[in-house]
Structure 1
Amino acid sequence: MPPPAAKSWNFAPAPDPALVLAITEALPVGPEVGALLVQRGLDTPEAAAAFIYSDLRQLPDPFLLRDMDLAVDRLVRALETGEKVLVLGDYDVDGITSVALVISYLTPLFGAERLRDYIPDRYTEGYGISHTAVDVAAAEGFGLIVALDCGIKALEPVAYAAAKGVDFIICDHHLPGDELPAAVAVLDPKRKDCCYPYKDLSGCGVGFKLMQGLGQRLGRDTAFLYDLLDLVTVSIAADVVPVTGENRVLAAHGLRCFNEDAHLLRPGLAALRELATLREGPLTLSSLVFGFAPRINAAGRMGDARRAVAMLLAADQQEARHTTEVVDRMNQERRGSDQATTQEALALIAASPTLQTSHATVLYQAHWHQGVLGIVASRCLDQYYRPTVILTQRDGKATGSARSVAGFDIHAALEACAPLLEQYGGHRAAAGLTLKVENVPAFQAQFEEVVARTQATAHLVRPVEIDALLPVARITEGFLQDLRPLEPFGPGNPNPVFATARVLAVPGSAREVGNGHLKIRLVAADAPGPAVEVIGFGLAGYLPQINEGHPFDVCYTLEMNEYRGSRHVQLRLLDLRWA
Structure 2
Amino acid sequence: MQKRWVLKPKNDSNKVNNLKTELGVNDIVANLLVSREVQTFEQARYFFRPSLDHLHDPFLMKDMDQAITRIERAIGNKEKILIYGDYDVDGTTAVSVVYSFFRTFHTGIEFYIPDRYAEGYGISTQGIDYAAEHGFTLIIALDCGIKAIEKVDYAKSKGIDFIIGDHHLPGESIPDAVAVLDPKRSDCAYPYKELSGCGIGFKIIQAFILKNNMDMEAAYQYLDLVAVSIASDIVPITGENRILTFFGLKKLNTNPSVGFKALINLSTNRTGVFSVNDIVFQIGPRINAAGRIEHAKDAVRLLISKSEEEAKNFSNAVDDQNNVRKDFDLNITKEALSLIESSTDNLLRKSTVLYKSDWHKGVIGIVASRLTEKYYRPTVILTHTNGHIAGSARSVIGFDLYEALSECSDLLEQFGGHKYAAGLTMREENIRLFQQRFEDVVQKTIKPEMLQQEVSIDLEINLQHIDSKLYRLLKQFEPFGPQNEAPVFMTRQVRIIGSANIVGNNHLKFTIRQGDSPGFDCIAFGLAEHFDYIQNQNAFDICYTIEENNWRGKKNLQLNIKAIRY
Q: TM-score of the superposition, structure 1-length normalised?
A: 0.95
> Alignment partner for residue 413 of structure 2, among 401, 418, 422?
422
CA contact (8 A) 1:466 1:498 kept: yes
What CA deviation, in whole Å up to 9, does each residue of 1:5-46 have, x standing for no partner?
Answer: 111111123334442333233336443211100122222223
1:471–1:353 CA distance, 2 compared to 1 (3 A): same
- Give 2:398's aligned residue: 407
1:545–1:344 CA distance, 2 compared to 1 (3 A): farther
Listed as ranges, the gaps of 5+ residues in structure 2 are none
Q: Find the residue that maps to 2:138 and give its secondary structure.
A: strand
Q: CA deviation at 1:452?
A: 1.3
> Alignment partner for residue 553 of structure 2, among 565, 568, 577?
565
CA contact (8 A) 1:128 1:150 kept: yes
- Give 1:519's aligned residue: 508
- Give 1:490's aligned residue: 481
1:358–1:33 CA distance, 2 compared to 1 (3 A): same
> Alignment partner for residue 350 of structure 2, among 354, 359, 363?
359
Q: Partner letter of residue 100 of structure 1? A: S
CA contact (8 A) 1:396 1:437 kept: no
Give the whole-Å Cα distance in 2 for the aligned partners of 1:45 and 1:205: 28
Q: Partner letter of residue 68 of structure 1? A: M
Q: CA deviation at 1:527?
A: 2.4
> Alignment partner for residue 46 of structure 2, among 47, 50, 63?
50
Give the whole-Å Cα distance in 1 for the aligned partners of 2:553 and 2:271: 9
Residue 495 (structure 2) pairs with residue 504 (structure 1):
yes
1:28–1:77 CA distance, 2 compared to 1 (3 A): farther
- Give 2:56's aligned residue: 60
Q: CA deviation at 1:147?
A: 0.6
> Alignment partner for residue 95 of structure 2, among 94, 99, 109?
99
Q: CA deviation at 1:315?
A: 0.8
- Give 2:76's aligned residue: 80
CA contact (8 A) 2:462 2:514 kept: no
Residue 209 (structure 2) pairs with residue 221 (structure 1):
no
Listed as ranges, the gaps of 5+ residues in structure 1 are none
Give the whole-Å Cα distance in 1 for the aligned partners of 2:131 and 2:359: 33
CA contact (8 A) 2:22 2:40 kept: no
CA contact (8 A) 1:267 1:315 kept: yes
Q: Partner letter of residue 108 of structure 1? A: T
The equivalences for 1:440-519 within 5 A come to 440-513=431-504, 515-516=505-506, 518-519=507-508
- Give 1:201's aligned residue: 195
Give the whole-Å Cα distance in 1 for the aligned partners of 2:11 and 2:417: 35
Q: Find the residue that maps to 2:105 and give its secondary structure.
A: helix
- Give 1:181's aligned residue: 175
What percent of counterpart residues are identical?
46
Q: CA deviation at 1:281?
A: 5.6
Q: Partner letter of residue 257 of structure 2? A: R
What CA deviation, in whole Å up to 9, does each residue of 1:540-577 have, x standing for no partner?
Answer: 23333333331211111122223442322222221110
CA contact (8 A) 2:196 2:235 kept: yes
1:31–1:115 CA distance, 2 compared to 1 (3 A): same
Residue 144 (structure 2) pairs with residue 150 (structure 1):
yes
What CA deviation, in whole Å up to 9, does each residue of 1:202-235 have, x standing for no partner?
Answer: 1111111111111111111111111111111101
CA contact (8 A) 2:293 2:325 kept: yes
Give the whole-Å Cα distance in 1 for the aligned partners of 2:24 and 2:296: 46
The equivalences for 1:103-502 within 5 A come to 103-111=99-107, 114-259=108-253, 262=254, 264-280=255-271, 282-502=273-493
Q: CA deviation at 1:93?
A: 0.4
Give the whole-Å Cα distance in 2 for the aligned partners of 1:328 and 1:54: 34
CA contact (8 A) 2:497 2:513 kept: no
Give the whole-Å Cα distance in 1 for the aligned partners of 2:117 and 2:293: 10
1:522–1:214 CA distance, 2 compared to 1 (3 A): same
Give the whole-Å Cα distance in 1 for the aligned partners of 2:559 and 2:95: 38
Q: Partner letter of residue 156 of structure 1? A: E
CA contact (8 A) 2:508 2:526 kept: no
CA contact (8 A) 1:503 1:522 kept: no
What CA deviation, in whole Å up to 9, does each residue of 1:374-397 have, x standing for no partner?
Answer: 111111011101111111110121
CA contact (8 A) 2:267 2:282 kept: yes
Of residues 561-570 and 100-109 in structure 1, the stretch that sits farther from structure 2 once superposed is: 561-570
What CA deviation, in whole Å up to 9, does each residue of 1:498-521 have, x standing for no partner?
Answer: 1121222344332131x33x1312
Give the whole-Å Cα distance in 1 for the aligned partners of 2:482 and 2:372: 19
- The number of aligned residues is 566
Q: CA deviation at 1:461?
A: 1.2
Residue 33 (structure 2) pairs with residue 37 (structure 1):
yes
- Give 1:71's aligned residue: 67
> Alignment partner for residue 535 of structure 2, among 541, 547, 558?
547
1:279–1:451 CA distance, 2 compared to 1 (3 A): farther
Q: Output the aligned Cα RMSD.
A: 1.6
Q: Find the residue that maps to 1:486 and give its secondary structure.
A: coil
Q: CA deviation at 1:53?
A: 2.0
Q: Partner letter of residue 77 of structure 1? A: R
Of residues 503-512 and 484-493 in structure 1, the stretch that sits farther from structure 2 once superposed is: 503-512
1:281–1:508 CA distance, 2 compared to 1 (3 A): farther
Q: Partner letter of residue 571 of structure 1? A: L
Q: Partner letter of residue 500 of structure 1? A: T
CA contact (8 A) 1:8 1:463 kept: yes
Q: Partner letter of residue 120 of structure 1? A: P
Q: CA deviation at 1:363?
A: 0.8
CA contact (8 A) 1:23 1:48 kept: no
Q: Find the residue that maps to 1:129 and give its secondary structure.
A: coil
Q: Find the residue that maps to 2:500 and give its secondary structure.
A: coil
